[in-house]
Chains A and B, each alone.
Chain A
Amino acid sequence: MDALARVPQLIVYGLVSGSILSLGGIGVSLTYSILGFSNFAHGDTMALGAYFALAALSVLSGWGVSNRPWGALSFGAAFAGALAAAVILTSVAVVLLDRLLYRRLRGAGRITLMIAAVGVALGLRNAIQFAWGPQPLYYTTKIQRAALIPGLGVRIKPDQIFILAVAVVLAGLLHLFLRRTRIGKAMRAMADNASLARVSGIDTERVIIWTWVIGGALAAVAGILTGVENKFVLPELGWQMLLSIFAAVILGGIGNPYGAIVGGFVVGVSEEVSTAFVSAGYKPAVAFGILILMLLVRPTGLLGRRD
């Protein structure tokens, strides 16, 4: 009974972590459908974004930009600026990685790309550890009180509402981008059939760059929001979430960004609710369990098409 009583509160936490998994999953899904490989470095790209924000925050604070909290949130203008800077820096970094590495391997097949991605994952994580050290670093040391939502009996912090709002807004923007813009339509065309897209005159290299930019930007936001939720960042931040992100992407149907959003929330809520019943240390194993179950029952995912 005690465990069940905690479930509503855990669902709230699950929606918050699900927002982050969704944003991470969109990038994985896009790289999978457009570049044709599973990007195992995506988690570490998130971590890179989180650390870029940390660096930008200290630079902006050094310039005298105030980080006086906005309303009930734990941060202000300097952090918002740092977020924007980190998004740009991360996008530039992943595009550079594509130019230097992935582009040269495009003819070599899916598995070579995946191996390269594993190398990038370790490389990024260790570059972060080299530059910033293995210890946790804090965005803020302020303690934020959770507010009671009347009627539901659950508590939520203003920062968590911010995380949810960011995820919803970005998912909406992504939808508009994919449906309304030329480049978004080109991306969908290329995901459906790359050769056909090319012969119809779509500049596939340009689409690829856009894919990295969007995936990298959303990864940076996801990494920064993880830092906002936890209050600190660690070099392993992204790697620790990678399994959950892949579970989310496969659950939703790999290659389908909308599926990644749905999957992210399902995995996030399942992981948090599971902590009422099993040790919290097993959260990644819960995601893995969902993944295996899905592969057995419906490998194409909830929203997936036939592969």
Chain B
Amino acid sequence: MDLFAGVVNYLVFFGISAGIYAVLALGLNLQWGETGLFNIGVAGFYAVGAYTSALISGPPPDVWGGRIVGGFELPFVVGVLAAAAAAGLVALLIGIPTLRLRADYLAIATIGIAETIRLVLKNEAWLTNGVWGLQQIPSPLYGGIHRHTSGFLRANPDLPSWVAQIVSRAYNGFYLLLVAAVLVVLYALLRRLAGSPWGRVLRAIREDEDAAAMSGKNVFAFKLQALVLGAMVMGIGGALYAHYVRFISPASFEPLYGTFIVWVMLIIGGTGRHGGAILGAVVVWGIWAATDFVADHLPFSAPQVAALRILVIGVLLEGILVLRPGGLLRPRRPRRPTPPPEPQIR
């Protein structure tokens, strides 16, 4: 039965991680799936959200690390909202110079901003503690729930050990519910938005930007709104991550990998489908976790195994692109392919 407790606790942990990734994938789905914006700086917006929330809700600067600002100990909700606002602001700054230009420029600029954010996190110790990262980020309601569970365990010392093991991790169960609640709210909201006239304009832009402009839509404004809103969702994902792991450092936000896995999730799930974003997050995170188990039995060193796992995800992506470009959940209506590149080659 101890094994059962271990499995339950692992599944809770798995659910939280997959849920946070699903939030990121939903944000990316608004940008890429709905509007066709190519953002490869997901990790940057995620990091901005995580750090903002940690600085707003976290403890004041400690004696070491070098940070001199932040740590207002404000409630969790304030931190999450601030995270969304900060990530949205960064997206605004990136969107203005690039969204009037071809897709490539936004892509390059988002790589650039993700890299620049990582450098700032690493170098500006007055704000971020540099490579030491931010510690003791509070988890919402942790104290209260922990008091209850430990009180319950003390009052019932003769519980079977597997029950005790599950109860002692009850906080993670609560956090899973919290992540799930956020996910459901975002899912409902984004679906509603996608079904609204506003969402229809986004899809019109995705299908044919010139036609949308000809119908009198301000394409630039709509793209900017989609980019900013999507980034805000990613910022919320970052905040959920920070308050769960309670310690963040620049190493948590490796730009290409953090972005790439979210892209793979969305593409595998089915671009343009909100359900696909969530399904993809669960499937890809499941594959990722499974490779971790398999990796233990391979005769390779730790860095080799790490490389091999990413390689597997990369090959999976290329396979999906070539063999099943629509993803697991195909778009609802048959879609005209995206407009061909100008120098079109067959």
Q: Which residues of A contact B (CB under 8 A)?
A: 32-38, 40, 101, 104-116, 118-123, 126-127, 129-130, 133-134, 190-191, 193-195, 204, 208, 239, 242-243, 246-247, 250, 254, 279, 281-282, 284-285, 287-288, 291-292, 295-296, 299, 307
Contacts and interface: CB of A to CB of B under 8 A. Distances in A.
Contacts of B123: 279, 281-282
Contact of A130 (B98, B104, B307): B307
Interface in B276-317: 300-301, 303-304, 306-308, 310-311, 313-315, 317
B322 interface: yes
A134 B340 contact: no
8 contacts: A112-B321, A122-B257, A129-B303, A130-B308, A190-B343, A204-B345, A287-B112, A292-B112
A120 B256 CA distance: 12
Query: Which of A32, A121, A122 has the largest number of chain B CB atoms within 10 A?
Result: A122
A137 B257 CA distance: 23
Nearest to B94: A292
B115 A284 contact: yes
Contact of B256 (A33, A130, A204, A239): A239
B115 A288 contact: yes
A237 to B, nearest CB: 14
Given A36-B342, A195-B344, A114 B321 contact: no
Contact of A118 (B105, B256, B300, B346): B256
Interface string B321-341: 110010000000000011111
Contacts of B252: none
B308 to A, nearest CB: 6
Q: Give the bracket for the number of chain B residues in contact with chain A.
A: 35 or more
A285 B119 contact: yes
A105 B322 contact: yes
B13 interface: no
Interface of B: 36, 38, 40, 97-98, 101-105, 107-109, 111-113, 115-116, 119-120, 122-123, 256-257, 260, 263, 267, 300-301, 303-304, 306-308, 310-311, 313-315, 317-318, 321-322, 325, 337-346
B314 A119 contact: yes
A123 B112 CA distance: 20
A109 B341 contact: yes
Given A119-B260, A285-B115, A111 B36 contact: yes
A288 B317 CA distance: 28
Contact of A284 (B103, B119, B313): B119
The 9 lowest CB-CB distance pairs between A and B, nearest first, are: A36-B341, A288-B112, A123-B314, A129-B307, A109-B338, A194-B343, A126-B307, A130-B307, A110-B341
Contacts of B36: 111
B340 to A, nearest CB: 6
A243 B112 contact: yes
Given A116-B318, A307-B102, A37 B341 contact: yes
Contacts of A116: 317-318, 321
Contacts of B107: 38, 40, 114
Nearest to A293: B97
Nearest to B313: A122
A24 to B, nearest CB: 14
Given A110-B341, A307-B102, 16 more contacts: A36-B341, A37-B104, A38-B108, A104-B322, A108-B338, A118-B263, A119-B317, A120-B318, A122-B257, A122-B310, A123-B318, A133-B304, A194-B344, A285-B116, A288-B112, A296-B97
Given A119-B314, A122-B310, A126-B311, A299 B116 contact: no
Contact of B314 (A122, A247, A282): A122
Contacts of A191: 343
Contacts of A279: 123
Given A111-B103, A281-B123, A243 B111 contact: yes
A288 B115 CA distance: 9
B180 to A, nearest CB: 29
